[in-house]
Amino acid sequence: MSVDTAVLAIDIQQSFLRAPYWREDDVPAFRDAVLRLLQGAAERGWPVVRVLHQDGDEGFTPESGLVRPLEWMPPEAAATFHKGVHNAFTDTGLEAWLRERGIRRVIVAGIRTEQCCETTTRVASDLGFRVDFVTEATLTFPMVHAASGRRYDVDEIKQRTELVLDGRFARIRSVDAILAGD
């Protein structure tokens, strides 16, 4: 049986613990969803690709020592890529790695839902990959609109992300649906 699916674990890293917007509210559910997805991937022989973000921001520099997985992430990964932009493809070599292995479908999980996860999803779709976006296995934080001052909560941000991705760039799936083969 050939494996044509990989899980992209985007920016699930220590760096965020230093971010001023970090909060633990949604972490337990996020951690459970990610770990169930990764366990299911291992059982199916799907490679898990770890993607870590590094740039000049505090906590995201290589010198910070925080550009490493959160402590609860499994230590094993088929590959690890470091990116300096919002998507996992532009500056990493990930596309070539996936194509060399015959991967045609990617499952996206990670931190932040509407930023690096959404951007990776859009680029993956544009590159011709089939994409499943597992919202429950993504994490984000409330945001305040710079011009209006309106505060958007996590659920609103996730719903908006699903709205703009579903049927255009990805299928929105739950962990259970992914593992059931849907």
pLDDT band, very low/low/confident/very high, at 80 (cuts 50, 70, 90)? very high
Backbone φ and ψ for 7, nearest 5 degrees, come out as -100, 130
pLDDT band, very low/low/confident/very high, at 58 (cuts 50, 70, 90)? confident
Q: Domain range holding 83? A: 5-179
* CA atoms 177, 178, 180, 182: torsion sign: positive
CA triplet 114, 161, 148: central angle to 5 degrees? Answer: 75
Task: Report the pLDDT averaged over residues 31-40.
Answer: 98
| Helices and strands in the chain, H and E counts | 5, 8
Of the chain, the percentage scoring pLDDT greater than 70 comes to 99
Note the pTM of the prediction, 2 decimals: 0.96
Number of domains in the chain: 1
pLDDT in tens, 156-178: 999 999 999 999 999 999 999 99
Write out the two tokens for 88: 């996992």
pLDDT band, very low/low/confident/very high, at 2 (cuts 50, 70, 90)? low
CATH number at residue 104: 3.40.50.850
Write out the two tokens for 106: 């990617």
